[in-house]
């Protein structure tokens, strides 16, 4: 994977080239893929877009009760599918400071850290990555921090989200977050989310955990549930 710099009217965005083998190995869609998996994510994308449109939402959090239920895989594939849609662009942000995996799953190396942006140590323009897919931008990193909910609930984070929203009108911003019942980050970040997609691992996610999760989230923000690893 190589990094380049490109200058457009707005920013200097670093560009990288993705390795299709890495994507495939991590269950991620490759460009122009026409498989049942790709069709399923396109279906999800269309339903998500419709639901977000209804409530005029631009920011979407991918949430699940426990770890390993498929949030990151869902977040990346949804972003890849959104980027294919001509009328929209997607910005995928890794806010899982418990287990940041977007860089790893997409095979992206190099520095630049979303945490540094949230801590005002770097400008967002320096950290954005264009992964060689038109319509998709990444704001990722690999920092792990324990007190991340403090950072996420900081009002300055709201300023950053507003800035990200205003950059492009048609952009959907997708946030990957830690398991909502294991760390308070997702709940702390909820006020900044217009919409939430709940990932449920079929056969693993407990009914009682789902009920607890639902009680923590404003029902109007829940645009849907994705049944992962469906049996
Ligand atoms: N539908 C699926 N079928 C098979 N494997 C899957 C499926 N969805 C995700 N996985 C795999 O399960 C593992 C966990 O998925 P993922 O990292 O997306 O979950 P997560 O909820 O983000 O986990 P974490 O809590 O660690 O952040 C990964 O190895 C991923 O490739
Ligand atoms: Mg994850």
The helix/strand/coil state of 44 is: helix
74 CA closest ligand 1 atom index: 18
The helix/strand/coil state of 169 is: coil
Average pLDDT for the chain: 92
Q: What is the pLDDT of residue 86?
A: 86
Distance of alpha carbon 195 from the chain centroid? 12
Q: What confidence tens digit (pLDDT) does each residue in 58-91 have?
A: 999 999 999 999 999 999 999 999 999 888 899 9
Total-model pTM: 0.94
Q: What is the pLDDT of residue 32?
A: 86
Rounded mean pLDDT of 133-156? Answer: 93
d(CA 174, CA 196): 10
d(CA 51, CA 10): 30
State if residue 89 touches ligand 1 by the CB under 6 angstroms criterion. no
Ligand 2 centroid – CA 30 distance (Å): 19
Q: What is the pLDDT of residue 156?
A: 86
State if residue 27 touches ligand 1 by the CB under 6 angstroms criterion. yes
Confidence of residue 111 (pLDDT cuts 50, 70, 90): confident
Q: What is the CATH number of the domain that holds 159?
A: 3.40.50.300
Q: What is the pLDDT of residue 1?
A: 46
Contact of 41 with 23, CB cutoff 8 Å: no
- Its domain, for residue 187, covers 3-228
State if residue 205 touches ligand 1 by the CB under 6 angstroms criterion. no
Domain count, the chain: 1
State if residue 228 touches ligand 1 by the CB under 6 angstroms criterion. yes
Q: What is the pLDDT of residue 168?
A: 75
Ligand 2 centroid – CA 231 distance (Å): 21
State if residue 67 touches ligand 1 by the CB under 6 angstroms criterion. yes
Question: Which of the pair, 213 or 1, is modelled with greater confidence?
Answer: 213
Question: Which of the pair, 9 or 36, is modelled with greater confidence?
Answer: 36
Q: To the nearest whole percent, how much of the chain has pLDDT over 70?
A: 95
Residue nearest to atom 29 of ligand 1 (CA): 26
Check whether 11 has a pLDDT greater than 60. Answer: no
Task: For residue 150, give every residue at least 6 positions away whose Cβ sits within 8 Å of its Cβ, in sequence order, or none.
Answer: 188
Give the ligand with the smallest distance to the CA of 181: 1
Give the ligand with the smallest distance to the CA of 182: 1
Rounded mean pLDDT of 195-219? Answer: 97
């Amino acid at each position: 994977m190589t990094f380049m710099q490109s200058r457009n009217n707005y920013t200097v965005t670093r560009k990288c080239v993705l390795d299709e083998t890495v994507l495939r190995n991590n269950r991620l869609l490759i460009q122009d893929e026409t498989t049942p998996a790709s069709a399923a994510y396109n279906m999800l994308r269309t339903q998500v877009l419709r639901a977000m449109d209804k409530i005029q939402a631009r920011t979407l959090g991918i949430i699940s009760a426990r770890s390993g239920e498929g949030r990151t895989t869902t977040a990346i594939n949804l972003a890849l599918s959104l980027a294919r849609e001509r009328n929209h662009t997607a910005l995928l942000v890794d806010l899982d400071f418990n287990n940041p995996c977007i860089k790893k799953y997409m095979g992206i190396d190099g520095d630049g850290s979303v945490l540094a942006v949230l801590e005002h140590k770097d400008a967002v323009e320096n950290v954005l990555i264009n992964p060689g897919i038109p319509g998709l931008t990444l704001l990722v990193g690999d920092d792990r921090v324990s007190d991340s909910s403090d950072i996420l609930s900081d009002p300055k984070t709201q300023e950053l989200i507003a800035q990200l929203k205003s950059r492009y009108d048609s952009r959907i911003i997708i946030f990957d977050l830690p398991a909502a019942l294991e760390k308070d980050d997702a709940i702390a970040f909820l006020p900044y989310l217009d919409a939430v997609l709940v990932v449920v691992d079929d056969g693993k996610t407990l009914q009682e955990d789902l009920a607890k999760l639902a009680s923590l989230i404003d029902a109007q923000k829940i645009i849907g549930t994705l049944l992962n690893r469906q049996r």
